[in-house]
Amino acid sequence: MKILIINGPNLNLLGTREPEIYGTVSMEGYLDGLRCEFPSLELEYYQSNIEGEMINCLQKDDFDALVINPGAYTHYSYAIADCLKNINKPKIEVHISNIYKREEFRQKSVTAAHTDAVLSGFGMDGYRLAVLSLI
C-alpha cells in the first residue's frame, strides 16, 4: 500500500519553526520513525510552498491513500479543496496544532469537507494516527 503524505507551506521548517507550537522534530526525522514502524507500507512524502505544485502532485494519482496537511492553504485554498473533492481514495487531513485553539482565521478549513477525517492537535503523532487509520 502506497500512502502519500503531503505538506503545504512552511512545513519544511518543522523542527525549527515555532517549536512551542510545532515541536522540535523535523519531518524527515519523523518519517524515518514512521517507515520503521510500518515497513510494509510505501510512505511517499512531498512538501511544497506552492499551491499549484501540491495540486500537480495530488493529480498524479499514483497512491492508494492520502495524508495531507495543507498548512495555511487549509483556510483559503478552494483549488486544493476542489482537487481533494475529485480524489476517490481514503484521505485524512492532519494539523499538528489544535487549529480550534488558534487565531480565528485558522479555525476554518475549506479542505476538510473533502477528506474522510481530520486530526488536529495531536502534534506530529497526527501523521502516525492517520496512517494507522488508513491501514
Q: What is the mean pLDDT of residues 47-64?
A: 96
- Whether this model's pTM surpasses 0.75: yes
Q: What is the mean pLDDT of residues 24-47?
A: 94
Binding residues for substrate: 69, 75, 82, 96-97, 106
Binding residues: 69, 75, 82, 96-97, 106
pLDDT digits (tens, 9 = 90+) for 3-18: 999 999 877 767 677 7
pLDDT digits (tens, 9 = 90+) for 99-119: 887 777 666 899 999 999 999
Q: What is the mean pLDDT of residues 46-68?
A: 97
Q: Which of 10, 29, 4 is nearest to 97 (CA)?
A: 10
Q: What is the mean pLDDT of residues 29-57?
A: 96
**Residue 24 pLDDT > 90:** no
**CB contact at 8 A, 54 and 70:** yes
**CB contact at 8 A, 48 and 121:** no
Amino acid at 55: I
Residue numbers annotated as active site:
22, 95
Q: Which domains can be identified in the chain, with CATH numbers?
A: 2-134 (3.40.50.9100)
Amino acid at 43: L
